[in-house]
Every structure is written in structure tokens, then in C-alpha cells.
Structure 1
Amino acid sequence: MSLPVSVLPEQRLVQLRYAMVALGLLALAAAGFSGVELAWLPCLAALALLALANFMLSRVGTRGALLSGLAADVLALSLLLFASGGAANPLASLYLPPVLFAALLAPGAAPWLLGALALACYGVLFVWHLPWPVAGGDSAYAFSLHLVGMWWTLALSIALIVGFVSYLSRTLARREAELRAARETQLANEQMVALGVQAAIAAHALSTPLSTLTLLCDELGADYGDDPALGEDLALMRGQLAHCRDALARLRHGAEPPGAPEPVLQALAHQLEGWRTLRPDVVLAARLAGDAGTCAALPPALWPAVCNLLNNAAEAGGGHVEVSAEVAGGVLALDIVNREGCLSDAQLARAGLAPQVSAKPAGLGLGVMLTHVTLSRLGGTLTLTNDAAGGVRACVRVPLTQTGEWG
């Protein structure tokens, strides 16, 4: 899995190698000002060749290029050590970081081969090297310089190893988090596919009973049309059956394309009024705010998702539901509140990720998961919280679009 915003380890090594070349040039300049006698040509040639190899290999970006770069680090260090005392130079400890990086980034035979190359180069430096650069042949000065070099070499090795390993650990943790999120998304998609299959089976099984009930309503209306009380009940039943038929029709014909842009608050008020008709037993307190002239191409899938939340709130809130909506900044902000019950921390953590069975009045279940998936497809969000004034608040945020293109 690629990292969309972070630098890959291979790219980080390229940057680190340029930094080491710059640090080497500074060290050579400091040595020159201090009067240290060096074979300047081999040292400058080693840094120049390392920079050139880094530039060329950075354009390849393969595992072979990575290992070639680490081998170039070993060879360039060997040339520097050859020009500055050979194996006696404390910088010899810098053979370890390239081998460690190879073991971290390309486990297998390659780190062993690179380690063997480092050992071979270090062994050769015992025999072939230029003298240790000591001004005036002062042995005490040479020993003091050696100790200082050991300290700086240790500090640099620690910085390289700790910094790079920490970076790899953060990268690995980030990738693990991405994989967990991908697995949860895949699980939710699999659950939605299973629900879709069951919904298709249910639609096929319910179509005939709904038609039968509709015919019975018509026959009862014809036989007892003079009874006002029965007429009201039959009218309500016809409305409920029509709503069921419409829901099955949407399921059979698939997702409907978004319509033309329409006033958002007006469309929301119309949908809330239709929900009031379906749930006459519920007291709905609605407050709509924002620019009444804001228009957007609203997807049909948005309204069933909102209805799921309204039904949950109605069942959990004892027949009272509060709705507040605002259109601002190209976003529809919708809050649905019931004033009874609360959700546990576990329910809040898993809300919308999987079906849950919970006792009323929390009312958290399959509807919330369906709503969560629908809003995610539309580029929106759903957040459930325990309201400070009591009850549960569902916060819906949906971006508005003029084209009907979503998520």
C-alpha cells in the first residue's frame, strides 16, 4: 500500500545521503581550517561520486537501486577511510548504518552480501591506506583526535540509526492503520452486499402480499365507505401501503439519478412533512435555518438515510423528535435528537460500522449502519453523541453539489 502524503523509506534514504554528502563537505572544510593534512583529491572524489550515484539511482526507484545506493555508501566510505588513515580512522563505525538499513528495507541475502562487502573493505584498509593525517607528527594530538572522532562517529551512528528506525516504525504504524481501515471498509461492503441480497429476496416475497392488501383496502372502502372512522383508517392504510410499494420499486430499479438542483431547505421540509404522514404518532419539532435560496442536486439515497435516523430517534425518544437543519458553506448540517436514553462508549465507537442489538431507548441498530454507508458514499459523515441536555444526537453533514456527482 502506498503512502499518499508521507515520504517513502527509499526517498528518505536519498535525502539522507545528500545530507551526508553536505556534512562530509563541511567536515573537510573544518579539517582544512584546523590544519589537518588530508589527501584532498580522493576525499572530494568520494563525495562527488556518491552524490552522482545518489542522483542517478534516485530516478530508478527499484529494490536494486536501493541496494546499489547502500553499496555506494560503503565504497565511498572506504575511499574516505583510505585517504585518512584506513582502519585506524574512527569513522569506520559508519559501515554499520548501511548494513542495518539494508536489513530493514530489503531482508534476505542482500544485507549479508552488503555486510560481507563492508567487512572486505574494512579488512583491505588494514593493509592499504594513506597515513593518518596528523600535523607535525604529534602522537598525543593524534590520540586526542582519534578519541574526538570516535565520539562524533558514535553520535552520528546513533542519530542515523535511531532517526531512520523511528521513521520506519511510524511508517509501519501508519500503514497498519490504513490496512485496518481498509479491512473495516471491506467488511462493511461485504455486509452491505449480503443485506442487498436479503433485501432483494424480501422485495420479491412482499410484492404479492402488498398487492393483496391493497385490493382488500379497496374492497373495504367500497363496502364500508359510509363509516367516517373506518374511512380514515383505510386512508392511512392506503398511504402506508403506497409507501411500501414505492420503497420496493426503488429497490427493484436501483439507485435513481439525482434530479435537477432544487432549494435544499424546501426539499427537506417536504421530506419531513412526508415522514410526519407516515408517523402520525410522533411529535416532530423542526427548525430549519440558512439561506432558503440555496439549491443543490440532492441524491434520492439521502432521504431514506435520514428517515432511518428519524425512525430510530422516534422509537428511542418516546414519540418526541427534535430536528435542526442549517445550510451554510455548501454543506447541509442536520441534527436529529431524542431526549431519552444514552449510548455506551462501545456503542459510540462501533456506531455505523456493524449491526448492533441494543435495548431501548438507545435505538442503535441496522438503520444506523445503512445510514453511515449511504452518507459515506455521498461524501458525508454521521456522528452519534450523547447530548449534554440528555438523549442521543445524530449529526449529519453532507456536502452539496450542483452537478449530482457524489463521493
Structure 2
Amino acid sequence: MTPDLQPSRTPDSAAAMQQRPPAPRAIARLDDATGRKNMQQLIQLRWLAVVGQIVTIEVVHYGFGIRLPLEHMLGVLACLVVFNIASLLRWRKRREITNGELFLALLVDVGMLTAQLYLSGGATNPFVFLYLLQVILGAILLQPASTRIMVGVTTLCFAGLALVGQPLALPPDHNRGLSSPYIQGMLICFALNAALLVTFISRINHNLRVRDARLADLRQRAAEEEHIVRMGLLASGAAHELGTPLATLAVILGDWRHLPHFSSDPELLEEVAEMQTQVQRCKTILSGILLSAGEARGESSEKTTICTFLDDLVEEWRRTRPVRTFIYENRIVDDLPMVSDSALKQMIGNVLDNALEASPQSSRLDVHCNADHLVLRVSDNGPGFAPAMLQEFGKPYQSSKGRTGGGLGLFLVVNVARTVGGTVNAHNNAEGGATVTITLPLAAITLEEEEEDDDDAAEEVNEMNDVDNTLRAHAKAVHGS
């Protein structure tokens, strides 16, 4: 390997890796979910309107003795019920809710309200102020142009009712205060408007806040994945750069073994052999980086089982680390098939390395399946995490080791786990030390059937870790430049 690759020599790649916003599809999914929730709120509001109108009509017609055209008004209510049932069935199947569809739903509500007011007194009906509810909902749910149209439509409906509506046969008794039926109707209308606005606007604002929070999380994940891609490019460049000095060291150490003052001293010869072993390990790690960068995911993966994968991982980790006391307990009962994946292997290895560094004397790994998840718990007897680190757990460059660039191991662990739908949590133990718990969904790391062929296995792995896939693709592009 020759030092022919430096990150500073790839301006095209660097320019291509500017900060990206979240993927348009992800934003569209958030908008669709928010639109569906808002449409559900309108459907619920419409059911309340149906019940409220039935109660109001009955009270006014039979309680107050004010004659209303019951047949026509109940016919309008029947149309509203049919429309609401159709909306409920339609929006259960559709994923996308557009501004036009929300606007149409509100226009239908305005039309039904106008018909009921026309049949029950026109502009003199105290419930005419329910138009304000439609306008406010439009201001929250619709685009500015649609909101302006909604204001114009409701204004025209109010004016039309004043021109063509038949006033209610109410006595001029406004001076009676709450004893006046008209004042009572206005009070009920005000209370109804206030209650509906508080209830449904709070829910709609909650939907919008959830969308904004998820969008912010997507932006954060996009920034972190961009950071991982940059780290991958730097790692592949460093692998090329370190190839030559490691090869030189291997040659020098090989020559030292044959020098008289080394070969005659068993202690020195043992130290040289250990140095050769560590240099060879460094070369193996760098070769793995370059090999991974040049492969698509799944091309070198092997079909295995969860227990075999973990047992082999622990055995290799023990063999290549200065482990003193390490307890490994595998309590998995149902050994499911999976594809051996380098990203998962490195993720678990990073956590074990951190535990070993924090507690060289002893550490342990406990593994079990909990419902539909694989749970890996790594514990140590070290000093534990600082409170500030626990609050920022998984963020890059959060480390207590005092090294520049520290904290990237846990950052990568959290991101790899998150891409397969898993979580990583950490806490300090009451008796001392710390525990890191990795929870991975079995559906994301296992194969559905034993007899799946290699193509299916490769496809399963491809879906398992998008971040690692992106890293390798970028690194491969750089190698070819």
C-alpha cells in the first residue's frame, strides 16, 4: 500500500459532502402523518357537531317551543353524517393529506353550517358565530391563500344569511339577560366555541409540535450520518497512509529477530515477537477497513446464528485484547439465524473495549432475548460515567479520557444501533462501575426462515445499516478517484 490518498486531495468528494437537509421523502412522511392526524381531528369535531346539533334542535323545538323545520334540518344532518363516514373510510386508506383536501373538508363544514342556519333564523341565529371556529381552524391547518378564501367564503355566507334568511320568531326580550332565549343561545355558542377551540387547537398544535420534533431529530440524524461518512473517508485515507510505515516496521522487526544481541536474549526476543504480533494486528485492521470500504454490504457476509455470531465475536475479542477477568453469559434459548455483519461486530466490540479500558481487572457481557429484542448488557467495575456524559450520551467528542477526538466509539455505537431500530442506554451501577445496554429488534438482525438463500441474506443485511452502507459507498468512490 502506498500513501497515494489524502482527504485533502479530494475536493470533489469534500464538496459533495456539504451538510444535507433531511431527505425529502422523510419530510413528506412527517407531513403526511401530521395531515392525517389533523384530518382525524376534523372528523371527530364533525361527530361532535352532529351530536350538538341534534341536542340543540331538540331543546329549541320542544323545550323553548320555537318551531323549526325538523325534516329539512335532520336531512342536512344526515348528509353531514354520510360525508363524515365517507371521510373516515377514505382517510384510513389514503396516506397523503393535501392542503386542498383539508380545505374541501372545511368548506363542507361551512356549507352544512350555512344550511342549518338558513333553516333556523339566518343571521339572527346566535350560533352564527360558529363561523369563527371554521376560520380559526382554517388559519391553523391551511396555507395562507386557502385561509384568505375561507375568510371570504364565511363572510359571504354570513351576508347571504342576512339577506335571504328568515328571522326566528323570538320576542324582543334581550333586556331580560340570561332569561332571554337569544342570550342563552349566544352564551351556549360562546361556551361551545371556546371549548372546541381549546380542545382541538391544543391537539392540532400538539401534532405540529410532534412533527417539528421529529423533523429536528431527522436533521440531527442527517448531520450525524454526514459526520460518520466524513470519518469513513478519513479512516480509509489513514489506512492507505499507514500501510507503508507499518510495512517498514514489520521489516525492521524481522531484521531485529536475527541480530545477535536480540536472538541471544530471550526477554528481548519475546518483546520483539510481541511487537511483530501487534504490528500484524494493525495491518489486519487496516486491511479490514480498506476491504470494507471497497465492498457493497452483504458481499462477504456469512449466514450464521445469533449465538454463533456472539460466541465467535467474544472469542476473537478475548484473543486480541489483554483480558484478565471477563465473564460472558449467553442466556439465549431460541438460537435464530442471522447474517454476520461487520457493523454489529464493531459496535459490540467498541462497547467491550470501553469497558476493558475503564476496568482492566474485570468486565462482563450478558446476552438474552426479551420478547422481540436482543439485549446485550456490558458491565464494568470502573469509575463510571460522569453525569454530564450521561446527559450527552452518544454525542461525538463526549469523553472522559482527555484525548482529542475521544468519544467517537460510543457515537458510532449509538448510530449503528439506531439505524436498525435499536437503542443504547447507559447508567452507573449503585455498587460502582457502569452498564451499557444495547437493545436490538430481532426482526432487523435475523433471517425469517432457515432456508433463505444467499441473495435474501444479503438483502437483509443491506436494509440493516444504512449509515455503514453510505460510508462504504463514499469511501469506494474516493478510492476510485
Structure-2-length-normalised TM-score: 0.73
For the 8 Å contact 2:377–2:437, the answer to whether it is kept is: yes
- Worse-matched range after superposition: 139-148 or 30-39: 139-148
**Residue in 2 that maps onto 1:316:** 358
Work out the CA distance in 1 between the residues paired with 2:422 and 2:73.
59
**1:222-233 matched pairs, under 5 angstroms:** 222-223=258-259, 224-225=262-263, 227-233=265-271
- Alignment partner of 1:313: what SS? helix
Work out the CA distance in 1 between the residues paired with 2:395 and 2:41.
36
Greater relative contact order (Cα < 8 A, sep 6+): 2
Higher-Rg member (1/2)? 1
Q: Which amino acid aligns with 2:268?
A: L
* Sequence identity percentage: 28
**Residue in 2 that maps onto 1:151:** 187
**Residue in 2 that maps onto 1:85:** 121
**Residue in 2 that maps onto 1:251:** 289
**Residue in 2 that maps onto 1:108:** 144
Work out the CA distance in 2 between the residues paired with 1:323 and 1:206.
33
Work out the CA distance in 1 between the residues paired with 2:432 and 2:153.
70
- Worse-matched range after superposition: 11-20 or 91-100: 11-20
**Residue in 1 that maps onto 2:108:** 72
Q: CA deviation at 1:149?
A: 1.4
Q: CA deviation at 1:100?
A: 0.9
Q: CA deviation at 1:182?
A: 0.6
**Residue in 2 that maps onto 1:210:** 246
For the 8 Å contact 1:54–1:69, the answer to whether it is kept is: no
**Residue in 1 that maps onto 2:368:** 327
**Residue in 1 that maps onto 2:7:** none
Aligned match for 1:260, one of 259, 284, 303: 303
**Residue in 1 that maps onto 2:387:** 345
Cα distance change on mapping 1:184 and 1:32 into 2, 3 Å: same
Q: CA deviation at 1:222?
A: 3.6
Work out the CA distance in 2 between the residues paired with 1:185 and 1:8.
24
For the 8 Å contact 1:305–1:374, the answer to whether it is kept is: yes
The RMSD of aligned alpha carbons is 3.3
* CA deviation profile, 1:174-219 (whole Å, cap 9, x unmatched): 0121012111111110110110111011000111122222222333
* CA deviation profile, 1:356-385 (whole Å, cap 9, x unmatched): 243469x96122112222333344332221
**Residue in 1 that maps onto 2:328:** 287
Is residue 161 from structure 1 mapped to residue 197 from structure 2 by the alignment? yes
Cα distance change on mapping 1:20 and 1:104 into 2, 3 Å: same
Q: Unaligned stretches of 5+ in structure 2?
A: 1-26, 92-96, 448-456, 465-481
Work out the CA distance in 2 between the residues paired with 1:378 and 1:222.
51
* CA deviation profile, 1:126-174 (whole Å, cap 9, x unmatched): 343334256xx79689963222212221121112211121011101110
Work out the CA distance in 2 between the residues paired with 1:202 and 1:176.
39
Structure-1-length-normalised TM-score: 0.85
For the 8 Å contact 1:339–1:390, the answer to whether it is kept is: yes
- Alignment partner of 1:328: what SS? strand
**Residue in 1 that maps onto 2:69:** 39
Q: Which amino acid aligns with 2:335?
A: T
Cα distance change on mapping 1:74 and 1:106 into 2, 3 Å: same
Work out the CA distance in 2 between the residues paired with 1:132 and 1:321.
87
Work out the CA distance in 1 between the residues paired with 2:397 and 2:130.
56
Aligned match for 2:417, one of 352, 355, 375: 375
Matched pairs, number: 401
**Residue in 2 that maps onto 1:19:** 48
- Alignment partner of 1:258: what SS? coil
Q: Which amino acid aligns with 1:284?
A: T
Cα distance change on mapping 1:397 and 1:10 into 2, 3 Å: closer
Aligned match for 2:158, one of 118, 122, 126: 122
For the 8 Å contact 1:310–1:321, the answer to whether it is kept is: no
For the 8 Å contact 1:385–1:392, the answer to whether it is kept is: yes
* CA deviation profile, 1:373-399 (whole Å, cap 9, x unmatched): 233334433222122112222222344
Work out the CA distance in 1 between the residues paired with 2:441 and 2:66.
67
* CA deviation profile, 1:61-112 (whole Å, cap 9, x unmatched): 5423332332333333233222222222211111110111111112424333
For the 8 Å contact 1:46–1:77, the answer to whether it is kept is: no
Work out the CA distance in 2 between the residues paired with 1:250 and 1:155.
70
Q: CA deviation at 1:123?
A: 3.0
Q: Unaligned stretches of 5+ in structure 1?
A: none
* CA deviation profile, 1:237-274 (whole Å, cap 9, x unmatched): 2322222222112211215643222462x654544343
